[in-house]
Amino acid sequence: MMKSTLLVIKLVVLLCFFGCKKSTNSEENESHDPQYDVFIAGTETNGSNTFVQLWKNGQYTNLTDGKSVATVSDMYISGKDVYLVGYIWRNNKNLVAALWKNNELIELTDGKYSSQANSVWIDGNDIYIVGYEGSPNGDIAKLWKNGIASNLLDKSKEGQANSIFIKQNDIYVGGTYYDIGNRGGFIWKNGVVTDLGKENIYESNSIKKIFVTDGAVYAVGWRAFGQVTYATVWKDGVVTLFDKDRESSFASSIYVKGDDVYVVGQSSASDNSKAVLWKNGVKTILSQDDMQASAIDIKVINNDVFITGFEMPKKGTISVMLWKNNTPFKISNSNKYAAGKSIFVSKR
């Protein structure tokens, strides 16, 4: 089975969590804003078991019991309903694509082959989820609509779908296909696939997140030249590379508001990884100098910018982070390993 690309990340985190508890960390209380409800989906481990968690305004709830390894990739909130997607590891054998609706687990596949749900979107009464499912011939990029699966690429291409965005009844999916050992990014719109292309056979690229606004289709991820990757933005197929002076970087998520384009991700130099924000191409380092860190997801509400990810000191545990307007708040307990994977913000 082809595995999801985290090319330059040197931090491999199994994140999880058990039982329902309430957090009392003072830093969490400081991160609470009476104007907003801030939801962060992520995973935490206590050293032996892994758990899926949902934090709301710094207080958390467990969605899994720790008996099976599980992780979360994305979240969507519609009205009072909270949807998370990811996977759960069954029988120490295969990953099973999973949806949690209001904490209730729904498995999307039968577990015969490994599968994972990577992104979710709610449109009216319809639940759209994208990811992949394995097969004897490799991974197959999938779209599930209300639990019914369809393939996104033709049978000759392996691949994974990583992000979904619905705008004015048009369905957009971004992902990665595999071609003779190389990776390429693609955009799928209402059944039509656009290959984002490569300059030469030595290049590969991957799409992690898409965003659609005012008729423009944005995608972010990375473009690799040999062993070096660059955080990359595609706007209607036109490529912009970030951090070309660094060893490696990648982009994890994007949000576009008016004329401003916000991209978050990770930049690495001298074996030190930084959580970063690029606003209109201008870079801001979010994490502290003595931390290994990554920014994973972003939302912008009014003029406020919310980012989640993780930080880890050189000697210590990984912590869920919230950056609001570049100000850091530690969300998880300091004695456990945890990371924020998706953020959703609603104004009260």
Q: What is the pTM of this model?
A: 0.89
Q: What is the reported pLDDT for 228? A: 86
Residues 6+ apart with CB under 8 A from 73: 85, 86, 87, 116, 117, 118, 119, 131, 341, 342
Q: Extract the tokens encoding 112.
A: 């015969």
Three-class DSSP category at 216:
strand
Among 76-80, 139-143, 317-321, the minimum mean pLDDT is found in 317-321
Domains, the chain, in order of start with CATH, read 26-347 (2.120.10.30)
Q: pLDDT tens, 70-123?
A: 999 999 999 999 999 999 988 768 999 999 999 999 999 999 999 999 999 999
Where residue 299 falls among pLDDT bands split at 50, 70, 90? very high
Residues 255-270 as b/e (b if ≥16 CB within 10 A, e otherwise) read: bbeeeebbbbbbbbee
How sure is the predictor about 252, in pLDDT bands with cuts at 50, 70 and 90? very high
pLDDT at residue 257 is higher than 70 = yes
Tell me the residue length of the chain.
Answer: 348
